[in-house]
Amino acid sequence: MTTQTHFIPTPIAYGKKTQAWWAVKPSGRLVVFVHGFGGSAVSTWNEFPDLLPKQSSCAGWDVVFYGYDGLFTQANISAQGLHDFVHQMGTKPAKVINPTLNPKSRRDSKFAYSSILIVAHSLGAVVTRRALLNARKLNRPWLNQTQMVLFAPAHMGANTIALGAEAISVIPGVGALLAAVAKFKFQPLQDLEAGSQTLQLLLSETQQALQAGDAPYLVARAVYVGDKERIVTTNSFCDDPPLMILAGKDHVDVCKPDANYLDPVQGVVS
């Protein structure tokens, strides 16, 4: 008989359509998934919500799939929303968790996390890095227990025409021929242009923080890209480790595990 490790998913009042899988027996670890341009809180990650909780080492992990407006809202504004959510989870998580649980399962008001992992895709890497830089300016106490794992990050810029074409192809009434002007419709594409002010400031502020020697959370633990990547620039960002290449995967499917493609799950677990 299979033991239940997580309660059924529940929406929480942060971000856009954010959902949480709370652990039945929490171990003090939190994983937050942050989707990319045009993505959504849960569907971007394919079978991650089903596969990750089934890993024996993840039985006590709380897992949150965070959503935000990845089409029309500037990356820096989305970053502040993510910061506010992670700050709440890093300081008083019971206030977020307990209203979604039945009284018998609620956690002690002093419950706290010892580890926070943010897993981000594409634009989500820009949003995440900016959120952490904002937290640094505010001396948030949870920063030193926070880490990142990134999939196809767009922090060094992207082919915005190709990225825009992907988004508008699923929006009714907008044809693929408009891909070249999509960046004027979708604000985040302007943020992701190579050399944009958003990306230049992200890089320079990260470099300054790393030179200060007290910001290990700004270095990704792992960066994964597919060998079919054609959208984001894959140059190294500051002190991030060398890329981990996933064979046969492109920008979209690199972060979508299934029963026959478990590399993303194993990357997060490790």
Helices (H) and strands (E) in the chain, counts: 9, 8
> Among residues 17, 4, 61, 23, which one has the least CA distance to residue 43?
17
pLDDT at 160: 76
Question: If you compute the radius of gyration of the chain from its CA atoms, what whole number of angstroms results?
Answer: 18
63/106 Cα distance (integer angstroms)? 16
Question: Facing residues of 261 across strands?
Answer: 258
Q: Which amino acid is at 56?
A: S
Contacts of 134 (CB under 8 A, 6+ apart): 79, 80, 83
Q: Which amino acid is at 91?
A: T
- Per-residue pLDDT tens digits of the chain, which is 270 residues long: 568 999 999 999 999 999 999 999 999 999 999 999 989 999 999 999 999 988 999 999 999 999 999 989 999 999 999 999 999 999 999 999 999 999 999 999 999 999 999 999 999 999 999 999 999 999 999 999 999 999 999 999 998 767 766 655 544 444 444 455 555 678 888 899 889 999 999 999 999 999 999 999 999 999 999 999 999 999 999 999 999 999 999 999 999 999 999 999 999 998
Q: In what order do the strands lie in the sheet with 29-34?
A: 10-11, 19-21, 61-66, 29-34, 115-121, 146-151, 222-226, 244-246
56/125 Cα distance (integer angstroms)? 27
Q: Could you give the C-alpha distances from 252 to 69, 138, 154, 210, in angstroms and in order? A: 18, 34, 12, 30
> Among residues 52, 59, 49, which one has the least CA distance to residue 10?
49
Q: Could you give the C-alpha distances from 91 to 23, 78, 101, 115, 140, in angstroms and in order? A: 18, 20, 19, 12, 9
Could you state, in order of their start, the residue ranges of all structural domains in the chain? Answer: 10-157+194-265
pLDDT at 181: 56
pLDDT at 177: 44
CA end-to-end distance (rounded Å), the chain: 27
Token reading at 258: 């299934």
The whole-model pTM stands at: 0.94
Task: Confirm or reject CATH 3.40.1190.20 for domain 10-157+194-265, answering yes or no.
Answer: no
pLDDT at 159: 85
The angle at the Cα of 221, spanning 135 to 38, to the nearest 5 degrees, equals 70
Q: Is 235 in contact with 213 (CB distance < 8 Å)?
A: no
Q: Is 55 in contact with 23 (CB distance < 8 Å)?
A: no
- Residue 200: Cβ-neighbour burial (10 angstroms; 0-12, 13-18, 19+): exposed
